[in-house]
Amino acid sequence: MNRGSMVGVSLGLVLIVGLFAWVFTAPYLSNQGLGRTPGIIIGGTLTDAPDDFTSLNDSVQGPLFMKQAGFPPLVVYLSWVGTEEGVITATRPDDGYWAKRVRERGGDGWLRIGDATYEMEAIEIHDDERLAMMEQWAAKSGRSMDEPLYAGSEPLRDWEVFFWEPK
């Protein structure tokens, strides 16, 4: 192999390693127009769960990071609302990957809210309790249950709800 070929192969390997490093450490980027790229690093400081998660509603703005246990590692951004007992998250009823993982593998994972990361467990909520939790989620988002969160999505009343409790 000549020197030019070795440089080309080396440059190719560096690019591949860089691409993989970015893919596996990038946060969920759907709100930034870059697609839905998951990451694997949640960051934050592992913290004991508060006695009441409602205290975080006003003090922490923006989405939380959610990381599911197991392989492959997955970190995504989620909208949320804190309750006394835990955290409500919601997702479109589109058979999305993270919701399917909760159903099939259990809901063990971590939520990062601000700089604090909490060890949590998610369960899917159904029926009337789902609607009541979704109303809380919609209210924090400033939306009505009959409107979509964004163009092309289902009305919020149809979304799937997952409740996270401290482990």
The total number of structural domains in the chain stands at 2
CA-based nearest residue to 165, from 56, 51, 28: 51
Is residue 18 one of the residues assigned to a domain?
yes
Q: What does DSSP say about strands 45-46 and 116-125: parallel, antiparallel, or unpaired?
A: parallel
Q: Are residues 19 and 60 in the same domain?
A: no
**Euclidean distance between CA atoms 22 and 25, whole angstroms:** 5
Structure tokens at 42: 């949640």
Report which residue type is found at 6: M
The pLDDT tens digits of the residues spanning 82-109 come to: 999 999 999 999 888 899 999 999 999 9
Task: Name the residue with tokens 């309750």.
Answer: 83
Domain membership of residue 20 as a residue range: 3-27
Within 10 A of 92 (CB to CB), how many other CB atoms are there?
Answer: 17
The pLDDT tens digits of the residues spanning 133-163 come to: 999 999 988 889 998 888 888 999 999 999 9
Q: Are residues 88 and 155 in the same domain?
A: yes
- Coil/strand/helix, residue 25: helix
Q: Are residues 18 and 54 in the same domain?
A: no
- Say what the pTM is: 0.78
